[in-house]
Amino acid sequence: MEIETIGVVGAGQMGNGIAHVMALSGYSVRLNDIDQAALDKAVALIQRNLDRQVSREKISAEARDAAMARISPTLHLAEVAQTDLVIEAATEREEIKHKIFEALVPELKPETILTSNTSSISITRLASRTDRPEKFMGFHFMNPVPVMQLVELIRGIATDQPTYDACLAVVNKLGKTAASAEDFPAFIVNRILMPMINEAVYTLYEGVGNVRSIDQSMKLGANHPMGPLELADFIGLDTCLAIMNVLHDGLADTKYRPCPLLTKYVEAGWLGRKTERGFYDYRGEEPVPTR
């Protein structure tokens, strides 16, 4: 089917980025959240990010204005359901995602494709709670969405070929690259990335190195653009912990056991950049290691 309208559920870090790239590529976007303040914040952020692209001569002012005109914020989930493709980008908690899809189903058009931006949760299990498992798949963008080139496309056990082809066509229109992943915990990127971050936290926990030495070692010794602890703060330590728990529970292998220090930081509410404290303290002019 030809996708023309996109519904995005969740106006947070991922949702606003998805709305941004979809609108810039010519899709009409309905951006939903349960909180008006979150919607206002998302629209303002999209405007600033598009302005930055104009100032760097990545896009024209006309393209920016056209993209903003294609985005319709809404508090009503039923309006999102009337699109061709819905991308759920809510918080990484399975019970919340189930509630969203259960609320969407009665309002959907027969041909609407449902997808989730989940970074780790079973696509097959999410799809099983809907009326269209064959038209359901994982559509996992990387953060920050306007910058990162990869999109993981994850088939559930029931996903049909036309659904996959329609989602692949969207990725191609965005000018991004699709990686096909099977529906196993954390898919490809996070299956590899999160254990590395978790091992970096263990290295800190066991006193092998401090925050700065661990990050410098991986940046200068492995040529990573960001150190693993800096990257964990950027992603959100709660998200890192949630993905490690999905890996540990889903694969039943002790090598995926979340580091107790990661759990402790999350319990403290030190979740990284979004709370201004994580492995670094961001409340001053320069980030300062917390250990």
Q: Which of 88, 117, 140, 230 is catalytic?
A: 140
User: Tell me, what's the pLDDT at 192?
Assistant: 97
Q: Which of 88, 152, 198, 230 is catalytic?
A: 152
Establish whether domains 5-181 and 190-289 are of one fold: no
User: Tell me, what's the pLDDT at 267?
Assistant: 98
Q: Is 190 a catalytic residue?
A: yes
Average pLDDT over residues 103-120: 96
Q: What is the pLDDT of residues 119-176, one digit of tens each?
A: 889 999 999 999 999 999 999 999 899 999 999 999 999 999 999 999 999 999 999 9
Q: Is the pLDDT of residue 202 over 80?
A: yes
Query: Quick one: angle between helices 237-251 and 228-235, nearest 10?
Result: 100
- Give domain 5-181's CATH architecture: 3-Layer(aba) Sandwich (3.40)
Q: Is the pLDDT of residue 1 over 90?
A: no
Q: What is the pLDDT of residues 63-94, one digit of tens each?
A: 999 999 999 999 999 999 999 999 999 988 89
Name 272's Cβ contacts closer than 8 Å, sequence gap at least 6.
232, 233, 234, 235, 236, 237, 278, 279
Domains of the chain by residue range: 5-181, 190-289
Q: Which of 16, 117, 119, 120 is catalytic?
A: 119
Strand 28-32 and strand 5-9: the pairing is parallel
Q: pLDDT band at 8, cuts 50/70/90?
A: very high
Q: What is the CATH code of the structural domain delimited by 190-289? A: 1.10.1040.10
Q: Which of 116, 120, 122, 190 is catalytic?
A: 190
Q: Is 217 a catalytic residue?
A: no
Q: Is 152 a catalytic residue?
A: yes
User: Tell me, what's the pLDDT at 92?
Assistant: 85
Q: Is 122 a catalytic residue?
A: no
And the tokens for 51? 């302005």
